[in-house]
Amino acid sequence: MIFNSEISGEQQHTTSPVVTGGSVIALVYNGGVIVGTDTLCSYGSMAAFKNVKKIAQISKNTIYASSGEFSDFQQVVKELAKIDRSALQYDDGVHPSPKDYGNFLARLSYKKRCKINPLYLQNVIAGFHNGERYLSLVDIYGTYLESNFITTGFASYFCKAIISNYWNENCTLDQAKQVIRECFKVLFCRDCRAHDVIQLAYVDAQGAHIEEPERVETKWDFNGFKSRANEKLHTQ
């Protein structure tokens, strides 16, 4: 992957992201892998784009999401799609497996980090291949980790307790969905760059399923919010 800026010599180095996506949470469950993100892209502290689909389907049985610079996310989606398309050129029926994408992205990220011009992303690749679940994290440096659960961003701080208490690797799809919804509820309360509309996507033996965005339930009608001693506040 060579950028025009590298050829023309005007190369700049990504030192900080501009438009960013929030946390990604991914879990394996009995029969597949599920990924959840919120649908917000922040412009610094401004919640600029509130209806963004941040989970991409790369191939029949692989999905990809990331947190960090959103333009890098869009570029990576293009690069990964290129690989699948070039497989058509050989016309031999061999398609990359989810692991192939994960490793490719790791090598790409590492290459860019070595040029001090990273893809400013924490990447999550999830897939289901030959009856096996696949879930990996590739970070900004090109570190590659396969795991049963992945969290990026603030989720790594707030959500691991919820995941370890309520999830195991053989839970059902619905249980895993509930855990992710619970995590995003907490994130919406505590992470300033989080949003309460989330999107879930899962991959199983039948392929990738990306669901429509949904709003997580949050509760704000506490008595303490509704009325304080000697004061009548606005109701919701």
Partner 1 sequence: MLKHLYDTDCVTWSPQGKLFQVEYAMEAVKQGSICLGLKSNENVVLCSLKRQPSELAGYQEKQFKIDDHMAIAIAGLTADARVLCKYMRTECLEYKYTYESHHPVGRLVFKVAEKSQHKTQSGAKRPYGVGLLVAGIDPNGVHLFETCPSGNYYEYKCQAIGSRSQAARTYFESWFHLFEKSTLEQLILHGLSALKKAIMEDEELNERNVEVGILGKNQKFVHLNAQELKDYIAKLETFNANTQIQQE
Q: Which of 100, 112, 159, 208 binds partner 1 (CB under 8 A)?
A: 100
Closer to partner 1 at the Cβ: 108 or 200? Answer: 108
The neighbour count for residue 18, using CB atoms within 10 Å, is: 12
Q: Which of 7, 9, 93, 234 binds partner 1 (CB under 8 A)?
A: 93
Quote the least distance from Cβ 102 to partner 1, whole Å.
Answer: 8
User: Under 8 Å CB-to-CB from 89, ≥6 apart: which residues?
Assistant: none
Quote the least distance from Cβ 149 to partner 1, whole Å.
Answer: 21
Please name the amino acid found at residue 48: A
- Binding status of residue 90 toward partner 1 by CB under 8 A: yes
Q: Which of 104, 166, 173, 207 binds partner 1 (CB under 8 A)?
A: 104
Among 14, 143, 152, 172, the active-site one is: 14
Closer to partner 1 at the Cβ: 32 or 102? Answer: 102
- CA-wise closest residue to 125 among 113, 133, 117: 133
The site for partner 1, by CB under 8 A, has a size of 11
Closer to partner 1 at the Cβ: 64 or 188? Answer: 64
Please name the amino acid found at residue 229: A
Closer to partner 1 at the Cβ: 94 or 192? Answer: 94
**14 catalytic, yes or no?**
yes
Residues 154-193 close enough to bind partner 1 by CB under 8 A: none
- Binding status of residue 57 toward partner 1 by CB under 8 A: no
Residues 107-146 close enough to bind partner 1 by CB under 8 A: 107
Quote the least distance from Cβ 94 to partner 1, whole Å.
Answer: 4
Closer to partner 1 at the Cβ: 62 or 199? Answer: 62
DSSP letters of the chain? ---HHHHHT------S-SEEE--EEEEEETTEEEEEEES-EEETTEEEE-S---EEEEETTEEEEEEEEHHHHHHHHHHHHHHHHHHHHHTSS----HHHHHHHHHHHHHHHHHTT----EEEEEEEEETTEEEEEEE-TT--EEE-SEEE-TTHHHHTHHHHHHH--TT--HHHHHHHHHHHHHHHHHH-TT--SEEEEEEEETTEEEEPPPEEPP-----HHHHEETTEEPPP-
Provide the β-strand partners of residue 136: 125, 146
Stretch that binds partner 1, among 22-30, 98-106, 160-168, 213-221 (CB under 8 A): 98-106
- Binding status of residue 97 toward partner 1 by CB under 8 A: yes
Which residues form the interface with partner 1 (CB under 8 A)? 90, 92-94, 96-97, 99-100, 103-104, 107
Residues marked active site are found at: 14
